[in-house]
Structure 1
Amino acid sequence: MENLFKTSTKINDLLENIGQILDITQAQHETVEKRYTAVANQLSQEGSLLSLYQPEILPQGSFLLGTMIRPIMEDDELDVDLVCRLKGKKSDWVQKNLKDAVRDQLLYNNEDYKRMLDEEGNRCWTLIYSCDKFHLDILPAMIGNNNHVNLDEKSFRNLSPSDLENISLRITDKREYNYTTETNPNYWLKSNPFGYAAWFKERSNINQLKRVLASESVTPLPGYKKSKEPLLRIIQILKRHRDIMFGGDEHKPISVIITTLAAKAYQKEANIIQGLVNILETMQLHMRRIYSEKHGREIWYIENPVNAEENFGDKWPGEPEKEDKFFEWLEKAKSDFRALTEMDPSQAYRLLKNILGTRPVNEAVRNLGYDELITENLKPANYSPQLLSVSHREQPRWRMSLSYNCEIYGRFKDITDYKKSKSITAQSVLPKGCEIYFTATTNVPKPYDVFWQVVNTGAEAENSYLGRRGGIFSAQTLGKGGLVQKEHSGYTGTHWIECFIVKDGVCVARSSEFFVNIR
C-alpha cells in the first residue's frame, strides 16, 4: 500500500483547494446566519404564545457539520436545515398543534414570511429566499418532558447513553400515525442532530491532544471557517462526485449515509487522497445485514451512531433503486479515486474535471498557479483556466463513466477562398463569416447518442441575444450519425466545442475542449 500513496503533492493540493471552492462562501454563510437570526427573533417575540417555551433556532445537518457544498448550477438554491427547539408546550398539544403554532408565529404580522412560505412539508416549514438563492427548512421540535441539557465539560467519548438522551429532540412528522392524537412527546419521533454533530466532531478531529466538548454542539452557532479538517473536505468531495454522477436523480445516495459511513471509516488521515481511498475501500464494513421481521428478509442496516434504533438506509427495502444507486456510486468512486493515485498530475486534472466538474477544478488550478496541468486539445495562446469557468456553461446531465475515447477535429472555409477548407490549429485565427465543420471520432460501439456543447465568450456574444451559448444539445443528422457538427464564426472571441457520447443513459466518452479563435 505504501507505493499506492506516493502520489503527487499537486494532486493532494488540488483536492484540498477543490474542497474549499465547493464550500459555501463567507458571504453566503453570513447571509444564512442573518436570515435564521431574524427567524429566531420572529418566533421568540416577547408576549407571543411561543415565547413561553423559549424557542431557539439552531442549524443542523451539513450547515452545522461544515460539509455543505454549493450546487452544481449557480442558479440552484442552497438547502439549509434548521431546528426550532422549544423547551415545553401546552399539555394538550399534539404534534400538529406544535407545528401549527410555529407556523402561526412565523407569519404573525410578517408579510415577507407569508409571501416566502412554501407548502407544508412532512416535517418542516420552508421559507424560500429567492433573491439569496437558498431556502430554510425549519423543523419544529422540543426537548422531551424529562430531558434537560447539562453536559458539563464532557467530551463525546465520555458521554453515556443518558447524556445522549438528554440532548435528543422530539420532532413533528405528519406521516406518523399519532400525529393528531399523542400529547406525550416521549412517544413522538426522536432525533438527535446535536448528538450526531458531537460524534462527527470527535471523528473529524485529528489533534489527539484536543478534547472535543459535546456541549459545543448543543447550542451551536458555527462561525465561518475557510480552513477545515481533512474529513470535511473528503465528504464535500464525495458529495460532489455523487452529484456529478447522478445529477437530480431522486434515488441517488443521500448525504447522511455518505457522511456517516465516511466518518466511521476515517482513520485520521491528514492526506486527502489517502483518506479518500481508505474510506471508500472500508466504507461497506460499517454497514451490516440484519433480518427484518417487517420485510421478512435480510436488509442493509446503516446505524445512526447516536441512535442505534435508527437505520439511515430504512428506505432501501421499499425503494431498491436507492440501494442499487448507492453501490453503483461506491464502486465508481473507488475506481475513480484509486485511479488518481496512479496518474501524473496532468492525467489527474482531466479525470478530476469529469468527476467533480470543470469549474471547481479549473478554479483550483488557477488559485494554485498550476497552469501547466492544463491539457485541453489545441489550447489557444491566450488560454486561462478562468476561461472555462463561465457561469453559462451547462454541466453534463448524465452519469459519467468514461471508458471510451472521443476526439474532435475542426476545419473551416474562409470567405476569401470558399472552395478550400483549412484545418484549425492552436494558432488559427478565423475571420467572421466562415463555415466551420467539427468531426468527432470515437471507439464507442454502436448504438449510442451524440451530444454537443458550444460555449461562446467575449463581449460580442454576451451582448447578442443568440450569441451567449453554453447549453448541451442533441446532435443533428449532419453525417456520421451526428458526429459532424456545422457552425458559423459569428462573434469575435475565444470559443470552444465539446462532444459527449451517451450510451444507455450514461456518458461513456467525452472529448476535450476544442478551441476556436475568431477575430
Structure 2
Amino acid sequence: MFELTNRPNKINDLLENIGQVLDITQAQHELVEQRYTAVAKQLSKEGSGLSLYKPEILPQGSFLLGTMIRPIMEDDELDVDLVCRLTGKGINWAQIHLKHAVKNQLIDKNENYNRMLDKEGNRCWTLVYADEKFHLDILPALVGNNNHINLSERSFNKLDKTDLENISLRITDQREDNYPSETNPNYWLKSNPFGYAAWFKERSNINVLKSVLLSESITPLPSYKKAKPPLLRVVQILKRHRDIMFGGDCDKPISIIITTLAAKAYQKESNVIRALINILNTMHLHMHEVYCPNLNKNIWRISNPVNEEENFADKWPSEKQKQDNFFTWLEKAKADFGALQNLDHTNVYRVLKNILGTRAVNEAVRNLGYDELITEDLKPVNFSSQLLSVPHRIQPLWPVGLKYNCDVYGRFNDVTDYKKSKSITTQTIVPKGCEIYFTATTNVPKPYDVYWQVVNTGEEAKNTFMGLRGGIFQAQTLGRGGLVQKEHSGYTGLHWVECFIVKNGICVARSSEFFVNIK
C-alpha cells in the first residue's frame, strides 16, 4: 500500500517504474535488433562497392545511450539512429559521393529497402518500417582522421584528446557549402557519438571502483536491460515531461541538451527522485554565457563534452524561441518535481499523471500494486460536478462491460503559429480559433469501432444555430481507425470529450472525460 510513511522511497519506486514503462519493450528491442542485423549484412556484403572500406554498422543516439522512450501515442514511430562507419573512401569522393555510395549499396538488389527508403535527409538515409511503427536513420560517416584505431579496451577516463579524435567521425551534410566538392574529410563536419556514449556511461556509472570500458559503451548492439542506473531514468522522465509540455512544437528543448546537462549535473545519487531534484536544481551551472565576436553579443554555450568545438545551443541566437522554451521548461520541471516532496500520496499520483501522462503513470501504479491511487481525475479550473449531468449529455448507447483501457490526449495548434502544437493539460487555457486534435489510445484487440462524444457548455455555445452538443457519434475523421478526432475551439467555456471503444455491440473501454477550457 502507498502510505505516507517512508514517502520518499515510495515516490522513488513510482518514478523508477514510470521510467521502465516509458522505456521501449524487449519485443521492440528485439525487432530493432533483427532489422539492424539485416541492414548491416546488406551494407557489408563481400565484393560490394563498399566492402573495400570495411563498413561497420553501429547504433548511436538514445538507443546507444539507453535513454530511448516510447512515443506518447502508441501509433507513432520509434526513431532509431545508426552509423555506417567506413575506414576509407575513394580518393575523389566528396561528401555527396560517400553518402550516395551508402545509398546505392543499401538498395542494391534489395527491392524491400528500395521501397522503404525515404527521401534524402540532410545527413541520413531513412528506412521506414511502416507496419512495425519505427524507422532507421542511417548516417554515412568516415572514421576520424581517416584512421581506424581500436581503443575498446580502455576506459573513457584514460582517453586523451588525440584518442577522442581517433574515435570521432567525419559526416556528410547536404546543407554544407562544400557538400558536393570537398574531398578532404578534415574539412567535413565532425561528430563523436561513440566518445559521447563513453562519457555518458562513465557519468551514469555509480560504481566508483569500476571504470566503464569503451567496449561496454560501443558495441554492435547494446543488449536489452530492464534495470538501469538512476541517470538514465532521470533523462527518460525529463524527456517525457518535455514532450507532455510542448507536444509537437519544433522549438521544444532538444534531447541532447537535456541529456548533456543532466549528465554533467549528476552526482552519483543512488535513487531517481534525489538525482532528479538535484539535477534540475544544478543544471544551469553547466551552461555559460560567452561573448560571440561574430554576433557582438553574449550567447549561451552548452559544450559537447567530447568536442569542444561544438555548442549544442548554437541555434539559440537565431531561433530565440528555442532558448526561451528551454528556460520555461526548466523552471516548470523544477516546480513540478520539486512539489512532489510536499504532497500527499493522492496528489503525487495526480501531479505525475498531469506532467508525465495518464497511460505511463497508471501502468506504473498498477505494476507496483498502488491501485488505490487511481481515483477521480484531477479536475480543471472552473470544474463543477454538476456539469457532468447536464441534460444534453447523451448516455452510452450500448451495454457497458469495461474490460480494457482507453485514454485520451489533446493538443492544439497555436493561433500565432500553426506549425506549433501544444499539449492540453487540466490547467491549460486554449484560445479561441484553434484546431484541437484528440488522440485515443487503447489496448482493445482489433477489430473494434470507435465512438466519440463532445459535450460543450456555456451561453456562447447554447446561442449558436446548432445549439449545445452532447451526442455520441461514430468516428469519421483523420483515419487511424478513428482514434483521432479533430475539433475547433469556437466557444468560450469548459467543454470535454470522451472516447468509447465498442466490440461486438458492447462498450469494452471508455475514457474518462478530457476537459478543454476555452477562453
Does the residue aligned with 1:81 lie in a helix, a strand or coil?
Answer: strand
Residues 491 and 448 of structure 1, relative CA distance in 2, 3 Å threshold: farther
1:391-438 Cα distance to aligned partner (Å, 9 max, x none) = xxxxxxxxxxx994634436669xxxxxxx8999xxxx98969xxxxx
1:354 aligned partner:
354
**CA drift at 1:21:** 0.6
Of 94-103 and 291-300, deviating more is: 291-300
Residue type matched to 1:318 in 2?
Answer: S
1:307 aligned partner:
307
1:272 aligned partner:
272
* Residues 1:174 and 2:189 are matched in the alignment: no
1:336-379 Cα distance to aligned partner (Å, 9 max, x none) = 0001111122111001111110001100111111011122169x
Does the residue aligned with 2:84 lie in a helix, a strand or coil?
Answer: strand
1:143-191 Cα distance to aligned partner (Å, 9 max, x none) = 1345332326322112111111110011111111211221111111111
Aligned partners of 2:213 and 2:430: how far apart in 1? 59
1:226 aligned partner:
226
Residue type matched to 1:43 in 2?
Answer: L
Residue ranges of structure 2 left out of the alignment (5+ in a row): 400-425, 452-472, 476-481
Tell whether the 8 Å contact from 1:145 to 1:186 is kept in structure 2 after alignment. Answer: yes
1:390 aligned partner:
none
Tell whether the 8 Å contact from 1:140 to 1:171 is kept in structure 2 after alignment. Answer: yes
Equivalent residues in 2 for 1:154-169, closer than 5 Å: 154-169=154-169
1:80 aligned partner:
80
2:386 aligned partner:
409
Does the residue aligned with 1:341 lie in a helix, a strand or coil?
Answer: helix
Correspondent of 2:515 among 463, 480, 500: 500
Aligned partners of 1:287 and 1:99: how far apart in 2? 34
Tell whether the 8 Å contact from 2:144 to 2:167 is kept in structure 1 after alignment. Answer: no
Equivalent residues in 2 for 1:84-95, closer than 5 Å: 84-95=84-95
Residue ranges of structure 1 left out of the alignment (5+ in a row): 379-401, 414-420, 434-441, 505-519
Residues 91 and 331 of structure 1, relative CA distance in 2, 3 Å threshold: same
2:208 aligned partner:
208
Q: TM-score when scaled to structure 2?
A: 0.79
Equivalent residues in 2 for 1:105-504, closer than 5 Å: 105-151=105-151, 153-376=153-376, 404=381, 406-409=383-386, 462-463=448-449, 466=473, 474=487, 481=493, 483=495, 495-502=510-517
Does the residue aligned with 1:137 lie in a helix, a strand or coil?
Answer: strand
Tell whether the 8 Å contact from 2:430 to 2:517 is kept in structure 1 after alignment. Answer: no
Aligned partners of 1:71 and 1:446: how far apart in 2? 24
**CA drift at 1:476:** 8.8
**CA drift at 1:501:** 3.9
Does the residue aligned with 1:409 lie in a helix, a strand or coil?
Answer: helix
* Residues 1:8 and 2:23 are matched in the alignment: no
Tell whether the 8 Å contact from 1:39 to 1:106 is kept in structure 2 after alignment. Answer: yes
Tell whether the 8 Å contact from 1:460 to 1:492 is kept in structure 2 after alignment. Answer: no
Residues 282 and 45 of structure 1, relative CA distance in 2, 3 Å threshold: same
Aligned partners of 1:32 and 1:374: how far apart in 2? 34
Residue type matched to 2:383 in 1?
Answer: C
Does the residue aligned with 2:318 lie in a helix, a strand or coil?
Answer: coil
Aligned partners of 1:331 and 1:444: how far apart in 2? 17
Does the residue aligned with 2:136 lie in a helix, a strand or coil?
Answer: strand
**CA drift at 1:84:** 0.3
1:61 aligned partner:
61
Tell whether the 8 Å contact from 1:476 to 1:482 is kept in structure 2 after alignment. Answer: no
Q: TM-score when scaled to structure 1?
A: 0.79
1:464-517 Cα distance to aligned partner (Å, 9 max, x none) = 775578656658989x8455999999965674542434468xxxxxxxxxxxxx
Aligned partners of 1:104 and 1:445: how far apart in 2? 51
What is the root-mean-square deviation in Å for CA atoms of aligned residues? 3.6
1:20 aligned partner:
20
Residues 486 and 149 of structure 1, relative CA distance in 2, 3 Å threshold: closer
Aligned partners of 1:188 and 1:341: how far apart in 2? 49
Does the residue aligned with 2:132 lie in a helix, a strand or coil?
Answer: coil
Tell whether the 8 Å contact from 1:241 to 1:333 is kept in structure 2 after alignment. Answer: yes
Tell whether the 8 Å contact from 1:18 to 1:360 is kept in structure 2 after alignment. Answer: yes
